[in-house]
Chains A and B, each alone.
Chain A
Amino acid sequence: MSQRLVILGSIAVGALLVALLAWNPSRDRTRHAQGPPLLVYCAAGLQPAIEPAVRAFEAETGARVQIQYGGSGTLLANLRVSRVGDLFVAADHFFIEIARSNALLAEVIPLARLTPTIAVARGNPKAIRSLDDLLREDVHLVLANPDAAAIGRVVRDTLLARGTWDRFETRARAFKPTVNDLANDLKLGTADAAIVWDATVRQYPELDAVPDATFADAASEVAVGVLEACTQPAAALALARFLAAPERGGRHMAEHGFAPVAGDPWVRSPELILFSGGVNRVAIEETLRAFEAREGVGIQRVYNGCGILTAQIRAGQKPDGYFACDVSFMRTVGDEFHAAVELAETRMVIATPPGNPRGLQSLQDLARPGLKVGLANEEQSALGALSARLLRKHGWLEAVMANVVVQTPTADLLVNQLRAGGLDAVVVYEANTRAAGEAIAVIPISLDGATAIQPLAVGRQTRYPQLMRRLMDTLCSEESRRRFETTGFRWRVPSP
C-alpha cells in the first residue's frame, strides 16, 4: 500500500470532515446579528417553556442566544469550572442558592412558583387519597433525593417538621436525582406514587395530582440568575426581564404548566422615575449610572428639597422610588411606598468661609449680631425642617432667624452662596461639604437630633417592582456603601 496515498488520503478525508463540521446552516441563518451570542445555561426540564420564549426574544430584539441544556446540578458544576456564560435558568431555588453561595450569580429574577403535590398515574389506579396512603404496603413510592433536588429537600423538611419523615424514607422504593425521573417512573408504571412539583403534573398528561394540604406552604421557585461571568449584562438582563414578563416568558411558562410570578411588563428599555433629596445626589449618582449601564434602562432623577418632592407626591406624582433626605419626610408619604430601608445618615454642620473668620463654635453662635446666615427652607426641605426643629428646641430660632438672609430648598445652593462670599455661615449636612474640600470650614453640631437619616422606598404603584427591587439592592450593595462613606455619610444597612 502506498504510504503517500494513506497519509494524504486520510488527511484529505479529515479535512473534508472538518469542512463539513464548520458549515453550519442553522448558524448561518443568524450570522447577520451583531455581537457574540448570549450563553444561557438552562435546566433541561424547562426547555419546553424557555426555548420558545428565547426564540421570541431573538425575533423581537435581533439578539442571538445559545441555550445549553442539562441537569441543574451538572450545569452548576460546569459553570463553576468554566466561568463563562451569561444566564443560569435553574429548575428550582435550591440550585440558585448553591450558585449564590459560590459567588456565581449577580442578579436573580424569579420566573415561576412551584408547590409540591402527590402525583399518581392517570385515573389514580391505587386510589391514593392522602399523604398517609403513600405508606400503604401496596403502594410503590418514589421520592426525590433531598441532597440532589429541591423537591426532595422541601418534602424532607416538611415531613421532618411533622415528625413523619422516617416512615416515608423507609417506605420509599427509590430516591431519584430529579423530579422528572419521578414523573417518568410514574409514566412507565415503575412506581405508583411520588411527590413532585405541581407544574410537573401539569406537564405530564399521564399523571394526576392528589390534593393534600400538607405542602401548601412549602414552595420553591424557578428563577433566572445573571452570572458574575456575564460579559453582556444589559443584553442578559433584557433576556431575563423578557423571560419574567407576564405577557412574554410568563405566557410560555403558563402554557407549560408553571405558575408564573408577577414579573415586570416587557419594555426593551424601561424608564424609572426616582425622587431623591438633593443631599443624596453625590452618594447615589455614580451607582445610578452604573445601574443604568448594566441593566440597559433609564432612570429619570428628580433631585429637590424633600418638602417639594413630598408635595409633588401628595399632588399625585407616582415615582417608582423615593430616597428621602430624612425619615420625617418619608413618613408624610408612607402610604404611597412599601417599607423603607434606612440606607445612611449624615450629621448637620455649620459651614463657614475657610479659616472660620468669625470664630463660630456652635449653633447658638449663629445668633451673634451682624452675621449673614443661610438656612434651608423649613417647608421645602428636610434640612430646613431639621434645622428649625433644632433651633426651636433650644430656644435659638428667633435670634438666629434675625440673621438669616437667605433660605433655599436645597443645601447645595447654600454651599454655593457661601463659597461665592455672600454668607458668613450656613447650616448644611456634612455630606454637602465634602465636594467643597478646603474651600470651606466645617464646624460639627454636637446636639441630639442633629442627624438626618436617609430612607429609600419602592412605590406601591410602580410598573417595575422587580427592577426597582434590583435598584434597591444595588443601592444597598457594598460598592454603594463605599460611595456613601466617601461622600460624608455613615452607612446604616445591616451586614447580610
Chain B
Amino acid sequence: MDAAPLSGRDVRFYLALAVLGSSYLVLLAAMLVADLFYTTPGHLWAALQSPEIRYAIRLSLLTCTLTTLLSLWVAVPLGYLLARTRFPGRGLVDLAIDIPIVLPPLVVGLSLLILFQTPPGRLIERWIPVTYAIPSIILAQFMVACAFAVRTMRTTFDQLDPRPEQVALTLGCHRSQAFWRVAFPAARRGMLAAATLAWARSLGEFGPILVFSGATRFKTEVLSTTVFLELSIGNLEAAVAVSLLMVATAFLALFILRHGAHESALGHPQRS
C-alpha cells in the first residue's frame, strides 16, 4: 500500500473488504469461543491426564510429521517434473494428483482397505502389517496430504524463474546440480508451505483413518478418532476438550513452521 492519503472512496472500499473478509474470521473465532465456553479447564486437564489421549497426541504428532516428510519426498520431485518438463501423459498425471483432493475421505479409506486385500496387498501384509496398524495411519494421511503438497510444490516451481537454472547449465552444471544448487534452495519457502499444508491435513484426517486403521486404543487412536469416540458416547465435554487441544497443537505447529519459513525466506528472496 502506498503512503498517499486515502480518499473517502478508498476507505469505504477497504472497509467493505475488511467486513467481508472478517465475516469468516468472526465465525471462526465464534466457534472457538463457543468451544471454550462449552468446556472447562478441568475437562482440558482431564483430557491431558488421560493415558489414551496422551497416546493419541503422541501418535498424531509422530504420524503427521512422518507423513509430511514422505509427502515432501514425493512432492518436490513430482512438482519439479510437472513444472519444468513436458512428457507424455503429463496432463493425466496433473489430473490424477487432484483425485485424492476431490474424493470423499471415506472413499480413500475404503479404497486403501480394498487394496490391501488384493494379492499384492496381502503379500505386503505378510511382511509389514498395514491394515489396522500404525502404517495404515501414515498411508491414509499420506494419500490426501501428498496431493496438497504436490500441488503446492508444482505452483512453487512454476513461479520460480527458470533463468538462474539455465545460467547454471551454461556455466557447466548438469541438470541435477542445477536443481540442487539453484532450484531446491530457492523453493525452500514453497517446501515449508507444502509441509505446513501436509502436516495440517494429516492432523485433521479422520474418515480414511477410521475405515483403514480403525480406532483401537493404544494402537491406532489419533486425536481425530478420539473426538469421534468421545462423541459416540455423548461425552461432548471431552470431545470439545480434545478438539481444542488439536487446535492448540495445530496452531503451535503452524506457527513454528511459518516462523521457520519467514526466517529462511529472509536469506533467500524469491523472484516472485
Cβ contact within 8 Å between B113 and A78: yes
Cβ contact within 8 Å between B219 and A187: no
Contacts of A20 in B (CB 8 A): 62
Number of A interface residues in the complex (CB < 8 A): 42
- Minimal Cβ-Cβ distance residue in B for A68: B214
B74 to chain A, nearest CB (A): 12
Contacts of A18 in B (CB 8 A): 66
Q: Any chain B CB within 8 A of the CB of A71?
A: yes
Q: Any chain B CB within 8 A of the CB of A155?
A: no
Cβ contact within 8 Å between A48 and B233: yes
Q: Any chain A CB within 8 A of the CB of B139?
A: no
Q: Any chain A CB within 8 A of the CB of B232?
A: yes
Given A14-B66, A39-B132, answer yes or no on A69-B216 (Cβ-Cβ < 8 Å).
yes
Cβ contact within 8 Å between B216 and A67: yes
Cβ contact within 8 Å between A17 and B184: no
Contacts of A83 in B (CB 8 A): 117
User: How would residues 69 to 113 of chain A score, 1 for a CB under 8 Å from any chain B CB and 0 otherwise?
Assistant: 111001001100111100000000000000000000000000000
B165 to chain A, nearest CB (A): 14
User: How would residues 59 to 73 of chain B score, 1 for a CB under 8 Å from any chain A CB and 0 otherwise?
Assistant: 100110110011011
Q: Any chain A CB within 8 A of the CB of B110?
A: yes
- A-B CB pair tally, cutoff 8 Å: 102
Q: Any chain B CB within 8 A of the CB of A451?
A: no
Given A17-B65, A84-B132, answer yes or no on A77-B232 (Cβ-Cβ < 8 Å).
no
Q: Any chain B CB within 8 A of the CB of A24?
A: yes
Given A14-B69, A70-B210, A70-B215, answer yes or no on A1-B180 (Cβ-Cβ < 8 Å).
yes
Given A20-B62, A78-B113, A83-B117, answer yes or no on A69-B215 (Cβ-Cβ < 8 Å).
yes
Q: Any chain B CB within 8 A of the CB of A26?
A: yes
Cβ contact within 8 Å between A184 and B234: yes
- Minimal Cβ-Cβ distance residue in A for B188: A1
Cβ contact within 8 Å between A69 and B229: yes
- Minimal Cβ-Cβ distance residue in A for B63: A21
- Minimal Cβ-Cβ distance residue in A for B69: A14
Contact of B215 among A3, A14, A44, A48 (CB under 8 A): A44
Cβ contact within 8 Å between A44 and B117: no
- Minimal Cβ-Cβ distance residue in B for A22: B134
- Minimal Cβ-Cβ distance residue in B for A4: B180
B73 to chain A, nearest CB (A): 7
- Minimal Cβ-Cβ distance residue in B for A39: B132
Given A1-B185, A14-B69, answer yes or no on A71-B232 (Cβ-Cβ < 8 Å).
yes
B91 to chain A, nearest CB (A): 30
B147 to chain A, nearest CB (A): 20
A404 to chain B, nearest CB (A): 66
Q: Any chain B CB within 8 A of the CB of A183?
A: yes
User: How would residues 94 to 115 of chain B score, 1 for a CB under 8 Å from any chain A CB and 0 otherwise?
Assistant: 0000000000000000100110
Contacts of B62 in A (CB 8 A): 17, 20-21
Q: Any chain A CB within 8 A of the CB of B211?
A: yes
Q: Any chain B CB within 8 A of the CB of A8?
A: no
Contacts of A296 in B (CB 8 A): none
Cβ contact within 8 Å between B70 and A180: no
A182 to chain B, nearest CB (A): 10
Q: Any chain A CB within 8 A of the CB of B236?
A: yes
Q: Any chain B CB within 8 A of the CB of A27?
A: yes
Query: In the docked arrangement, what's the CA distance between A180 and B66, Å?
Result: 34
Given A45-B232, A70-B210, A187-B234, answer yes or no on A1-B184 (Cβ-Cβ < 8 Å).
yes
User: How would residues 234 to 250 of chain B score, 1 for a CB under 8 Å from any chain A CB and 0 otherwise?
Assistant: 10100000000000000
Contacts of A6 in B (CB 8 A): 180, 184
- Minimal Cβ-Cβ distance residue in B for A71: B232
Cβ contact within 8 Å between A77 and B211: yes
Cβ contact within 8 Å between B233 and A44: yes
Contacts of B220 in A (CB 8 A): 68
Query: In the docked arrangement, what's the CA distance between A44 and B227, Å?
Result: 11
- Minimal Cβ-Cβ distance residue in B for A206: B234
Given A26-B55, A27-B219, answer yes or no on A77-B69 (Cβ-Cβ < 8 Å).
no
Query: In the docked arrangement, what's the CA distance between A371 and B117, Å?
Result: 69
Contacts of A45 in B (CB 8 A): 232-233
User: How would residues 2 to 29 of chain A score, 1 for a CB under 8 Å from any chain B CB and 0 otherwise?
Assistant: 0100100010011001101100101100
Cβ contact within 8 Å between B233 and A74: no
Excluding A24-B218, A74-B211, 15 further A-B contacts by CB distance (< 8 Å) are: A1-B184, A14-B66, A14-B69, A21-B63, A39-B132, A44-B228, A47-B233, A67-B217, A68-B214, A69-B216, A70-B215, A183-B234, A184-B231, A187-B234, A187-B236
- 6 cross-chain pairs, A with B, having the tightest CB-CB distances, nearest first: A44-B232, A68-B214, A26-B218, A17-B66, A3-B180, A69-B215
Residues of A within 8 A of B (CB): 1, 3, 6, 10, 13-14, 17-18, 20-21, 24, 26-27, 39, 41, 43-45, 47-48, 51, 66-71, 74, 77-78, 81-84, 178, 180, 183-184, 187-188, 203-204
Residues of B within 8 A of A (CB): 51, 55, 59, 62-63, 65-66, 69-70, 72-73, 110, 113-114, 116-117, 131-132, 134, 176, 180-181, 184-185, 210-211, 214-220, 225, 228-229, 231-234, 236
- Provide a sorted-by-A list of 19 A–B residue pairs whose CB atoms are within 8 angstroms: A3-B180, A21-B62, A21-B63, A24-B218, A43-B232, A44-B215, A45-B233, A67-B216, A68-B132, A68-B214, A68-B216, A69-B216, A74-B210, A77-B211, A78-B214, A82-B113, A82-B116, A184-B231, A187-B234
